Amino acid sequence: MTITGKVALVTGAGQGIGRGIALRLAKDGADVAIDDINGKTLVAVAKEIDALGRRATTFVADVSDRAQVYAAVDHAEKQLGGFDIMVNNAGIAQVQAISNVTPDEVDRIFKINVQGVLWGIQAAAKKFKALSHKGKIINASSIAGHDGFALLGIYSATKFAVRALTQAAARELACDGITVNAYSPGVVGTDMWVEIDKRMAEVTGAEIGATYKKYVQGIALGRAETPEDVAALVSYLAGPDSDYMTGQAPLIDGGMVYR
């Protein structure tokens, strides 16, 4: 069973995991609206989607702004003629000791990682109901949403919050035929982990690359994760084979955290 003919919106799709998800959904038959705060990166991803024979449309948005998220959903529906799948992927990392984190740092990461997901859930649910059909909402959690990690405490808190929102929204929206799930990646070889490794080096005094290497060595399957690994799970959550699954945040980490 496929998602051919469905319309998806992927936030934070200009690079990394978001790009991987957008391309996988397109390969599986969906037309994809891609949004990111960086419009330049979106152009290249849209061209890749076009090359796969699917329609793409771009929208520049800051997910911490509720109005912009609603506008992105409206744009997706108007440009692609429908709306079926919402992937709340956009997020940022933060490396900081709990004892040193500042109010501004807390505000910024919660606005993007938590409120951004909340606004996406709201906007997608409203659109699905207006179109009088079921829908799929898929949120970005993390292994840090299952285990709290040292120096990633506030980031972990945001990803635990995403799991809570996912569970609560799943219960509230089930009567409308809307499923809400999340995906929980581990150490993915993207720019985000380059930045995490750099910040870890600054905070701990470790050499550049040492933190990344340490975490990868702890993966049972013996390699770092790729965006394509994550995208495969998201594609399943977006498709009909997961219709009886809701409120879950499965780990896709190669064997790091076990539940």
Compute the distance between CA of residue 120 and CA of residue 124 in angstroms, rounded to an integer. Answer: 6
Element (H, E) at 39: helix 39-51
The amino acid that residue 87 corresponds to is V
Tokens found for residue 123 = 């906007």
Indicate the length of the chain as a whole number: 259
- Cα of first residue to Cα of last residue in the chain, in angstroms, is 28
* Contact indicator for 56, 68 with CB cutoff of 8 Å: no
**Does the annotation mark 183 as catalytic?**
no
Compute the distance between CA of residue 67 and CA of residue 81 in angstroms, rounded to an integer. Answer: 21
| Short-list 132, 153, 131, CA closest to 142 | 153
Q: Which of 70, 155, 183, 212 is catalytic?
A: 155
Compute the distance between CA of residue 166 and CA of residue 117 in angstroms, rounded to an integer. Answer: 9
**What crossing angle do the helices spanning 116-130 and 66-80 adopt, rounded to 10°?**
40
User: Catalytic site residues?
Assistant: 155
